């Protein structure tokens, strides 16, 4: 009997500190929706996080906190595989093999590498350069067909597709070419500088963390940069960013339509929009924060989830690695 091919999703988040609503809207929110429909694998990509300056004393805590964030946002370990990248040896093993078929010129083109090496001049390490190959290995190790991510990661998944194609051409059909899945909110902009994406690296004023208190959220939204005169039609203006955020957090679509009309007519009152936006963000994050606080009190449960996740992930990874070793002549 012919086997029915099921689709598979893979995505990862780096354990580098608190998650913000950009991570939530660009990535995790769609992970939660996908897990009910498609086999899903989600990873705390700790090896990737070593490419930036880090403190070994808090790395474990950051890994567990990222796992807690996944669970608090609604990843169900009965439905999805949730695990830590460094617990499964196949990631780095496959990355090495893929390194040997990836042209250096492809990596030199990566905009994230170019940006990060500008921002961390004292630590332009080989890992930072090779980061996209490890990311390709993450995806291909599970033969994932779909990769839900924020817009900043699209170039890396395009490269994973190229690497899959190259491997298949050279050694025989092995990997599906993974497709990118972007949310409507694939690029949430910074609150303090709306020409840049919301990011931990631009400081806490630029983002709303999933764990921010109501007072902090109100304060950050009230100080958020809006539009400056003629910037109104630009894609990178703050007013549009706030409106987009409002439309995804509010339940009643008619209110956001009204604000959008006011905006188009140049009549939008930020003194009205901002408190309402803060309020819908506060109420949307409340259940996540509640679950987060409960999980933080159950470290044993979180460890058990990660052990089970590792076992399931490892079984898939071992099968792929056996096939890869055979195909390239190592077995
Ligand atoms: P990271 O924290 O860099 O591991 O990112 C985790 C996920 O969040 C990735 O899929 C990113 O593309 C996504 N992401 C990060 N920042 C943003 C943002 N400002 N808007 C939308 N998605 C984002
Ligand atoms: N590079 C991604 C980021 O910073 C995280 C990541 C690592 C990832 N491996 C992945 C995302 C595989 C999707 C698939 O956001």
Dihedral, 62, 64, 70, 72 alpha carbons, nearest 10 = -110
Look up the CATH architecture of domain 8-187+299-328.
3-Layer(aba) Sandwich (3.40)
For the 200-293 domain, the top CATH level (class) is mainly alpha
48 lines ligand 2 (CB under 6 A): yes
Task: Report whether residue 187 contacts ligand 1, using a CB cutoff of 6 Å.
Answer: yes
Q: What DSSP element (H or E) covers 11?
A: strand 8-13
Distance 11 CA to ligand 2 centre (A): 6
C-alpha of residue 231 to centroid of ligand 2, in Å: 32
Residue-wise pLDDT tens digits, 2-11: 445 579 999 9
Q: What average pLDDT does range 182-195 have in this prediction?
A: 93
Q: What backbone phi and psi angles, to 5 degrees, belong to 115?
A: -65, -50
* Domain extent listing, the chain: 8-187+299-328, 200-293
Q: Could you tell me which of 38, 5, 66, 48 has the C-alpha nearest to residue 137? A: 48
**SS3 label, residue 309:** helix
The confidence score (pLDDT) of residue 228 equals: 62
- Phi, psi of 186, deg, nearest 5: -80, -10
Residue 227 has pLDDT above 90, yes or no: no
- What would the mean pLDDT of 196-212 be, rounded to a whole number? 94
Ligand 1 atom showing the smallest separation from residue 11 Cα: 10
The predicted pLDDT at position 1 comes to 46
Q: What angle do CA 172, 140, 166 make, to 5 degrees?
A: 40
pLDDT of residue 231: 45
Is 184 annotated as catalytic?
Answer: no
- Catalytic: 196? no
Burial class (CB in 10 A: 0-12, 13-18, 19+), 318: middle
Q: State residue 5's pLDDT score.
A: 58
Task: Tell me what pLDDT residue 201 has.
Answer: 86
CA 225: distance to chain centroid?
A: 25
Strand-pairing partners, residue 266, are none
User: Using 50, 70 and 90 to split pLDDT, how confident is the model at 86?
Assistant: very high
> In percent, how much of the chain has pLDDT > 90?
90
pLDDT of 236: 57
Whole-number pLDDT of residue 2:
47
Least confident window among 1-10, 29-38, 101-110, 316-325 = 1-10
Query: Is the C-beta atom of 260 inside 6 A of ligand 1?
Result: no
Tokens of 217: 């959220």
Q: State yes or no: is 116 an active-site residue.
A: yes
Residue closest to 313 by CA, chosen among 144, 162, 62: 144
Position 162 scores a pLDDT of 98
What is the overall mean pLDDT for the chain? 94
Contact between 43 and 312 under an 8 Å Cβ cutoff? The reply is no
Q: What's the gap in Å between 26 CA and the centre of ligand 1?
A: 6
d(CA 81, CA 41): 5
Mean pLDDT throughout 109-128? Answer: 94
DSSP 110-161: -HHHHHHHHHTGGG--HHHHHHHHHHHHHHHHTT-SEEE--GGGHHHHHHHH
The 8-class DSSP code of residue 235 comes to T
């Amino acid at each position: 009997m012919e086997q029915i091919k099921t689709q598979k999703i893979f995505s990862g988040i780096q354990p580098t500190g608190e998650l913000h609503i950009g991570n939530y809207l660009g990535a995790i929110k769609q992970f939660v929706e996908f897990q009910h429909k498609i086999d899903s694998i989600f990873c705390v990509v700790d090896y990737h996080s070593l490419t930036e300056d880090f403190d070994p004393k808090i790395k474990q805590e950051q890994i567990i906190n990222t796992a807690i964030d996944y669970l608090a946002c609604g990843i169900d370990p009965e439905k999805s595989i949730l695990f830590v990248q460094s617990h499964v040896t196949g990631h780095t093993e496959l990355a090495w093999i893929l390194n040997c078929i990836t042209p250096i010129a492809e990596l030199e083109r990566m905009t994230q590498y170019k940006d990060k090496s500008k921002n961390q001049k004292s630590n332009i390490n080989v890992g930072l350069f090779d980061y996209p190959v490890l990311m390709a290995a993450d995806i291909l190790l599970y033969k994932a067909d779909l990769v839900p991510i924020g817009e900043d990661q699209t170039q890396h998944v395009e490269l994973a597709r190229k690497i899959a194609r190259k491997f298949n051409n050279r050694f025989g059909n092995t990997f599906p070419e993974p497709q990118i899945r972007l949310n409507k909110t694939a690029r949430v902009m910074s609150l303090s500088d709306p020409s840049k994406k919301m990011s931990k690296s631009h400081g806490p004023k630029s983002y709303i963390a999933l764990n921010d208190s109501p007072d902090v959220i109100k304060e950050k939204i009230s100080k958020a940069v809006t539009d400056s005169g003629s910037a109104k039609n630009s894609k990178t203006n703050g007013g549009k960013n706030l409106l987009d955020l409002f439309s995804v957090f509010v339940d009643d679509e008619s209110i956001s339509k009204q604000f959008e009309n006011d905006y188009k007519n140049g009549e939008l009152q930020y003194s009205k929009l901002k408190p309402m936006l803060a309020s819908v963000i506060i109420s949307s994050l409340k259940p996540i924060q509640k679950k987060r606080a409960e999980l933080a009190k159950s470290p044993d449960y979180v460890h058990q989830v990660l052990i089970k996740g590792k076992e399931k992930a490892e079984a898939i990874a071992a099968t792929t690695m056996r096939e890869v070793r055979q195909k390239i002549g190592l077995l």
